[in-house]
Every structure is written in structure tokens, then in C-alpha cells.
Copies of this chain bind each other. A is one copy, B any other.
Amino acid sequence: MNIQAEIEKIKHSLMESGYKLTTQREIIVRVLLENEEDHLSAEDVYMLVKEKFPEIGLATVYRTLELLAELQIVAKMNFGDGVARFDLRGQDHEHMHHHLICHTCGALEEIKDDWLLELEQRLEAEYGFKVIDHRLDFIGNFRSCPNDNCKTHKGSA
């Protein structure tokens, strides 16, 4: 995915809602895009942004992430350690992706397909509940964990 193009899209989302894409915001967004695979905490983002723009304030990072969450550009997630993590939702107003979480080491893999469409239809029909958003995480063990240092047995055919 072309990062510059993504930034443009996000810029439009911001402007639509009456916000500007300031330098700080742009760098924060860029950091998120460049680390799409990770699930960064505000502090993580702060550190990474500081490398490119040392004058940034932590409050700005928090505020911007909050703003991006409001605009549904990122999801603010909580995986049980004490910190909020921010996860790009992906292009356009896509559904929230699902997570596979290694029970041993916490490593994350994402499933981008939407596995919930059927259930959501059923919810509307049977429960009178119209779904706007969802969250689906699985905790378990990978036959082969994406984290090479994970102590789960791996490789051996």
C-alpha cells in the first residue's frame, strides 16, 4: 500500500471533519502506516515520532490518536497489558480486522477478511441489533508462531 496515498486519504477524512493535517499529525499517521503490522501504544508512537520530529509533545500524540480513533481511522484496542494500542483499520471504512493472539508470547496475526457478515445478518434478523462495528480476537497457539523467539514448538515438519 502506497503510504503517501494513504496519507492523502487520511488528510481528506480529517478535512471533511474540519481538521487540518498538521506536520505533527502527518508524522504520527506516517509512523502508524510504517508500522502497520505492529500494535503500537501511545508511548511507542511517541518514541518513533520523536526520531523524526524531536519537538513533538506526548500530549499531541495522545490527542491525535484519540482524534484518529474518533474518525475511525484507527481502533483503540486493549489487549490486557495496561496500555491502549492503536491499530490502523485499513483502507476506507473497512470492517475491523480480527486477531489471532499467541497464548505463549502474545504475538499477533491479523485476519483481514470479514468472518462476521453472516453472524451480523443473524443479529439483525433475530436480535433486532444493527451492527456498526465489531471486535473479534482469538487467543490460542500457533502451530508455528510468527514470533521466532516464541517457545512454542515449531518448524519440525
Cα–Cα, bound, A109→B139 (Å): 23
Digit string of A113-134 for contact with B (CB within 8 Å is 1, else 0)? 0010001100100011111111
- Given A78-B78, A115-B119, A140 contacting B144 (CB threshold 8 A): no
The answer to the question of A76 belonging to the interface, with a C-beta cut-off of 8 Å to chain B, is yes
Inter-chain contact B123/A132, CB cutoff 8 Å? no
Contact A139 B133 (CB under 8 A): yes
Task: Return A35 CB to nearest CB of chain B, in Å.
Answer: 22
Assuming A100-B123, A132-B141, what are 19 further A-B pairs, CB within 8 angstroms?
A: A76-B80, A78-B78, A100-B127, A103-B133, A115-B119, A120-B138, A127-B142, A128-B143, A129-B138, A129-B142, A129-B143, A130-B141, A130-B143, A131-B138, A131-B140, A132-B140, A133-B139, A134-B139, A135-B135
Could you list which residues of chain A lie within 8 angstroms of chain B, going by C-beta atoms? 76, 78, 80, 100, 103, 109, 111, 115, 119-120, 123, 127-144
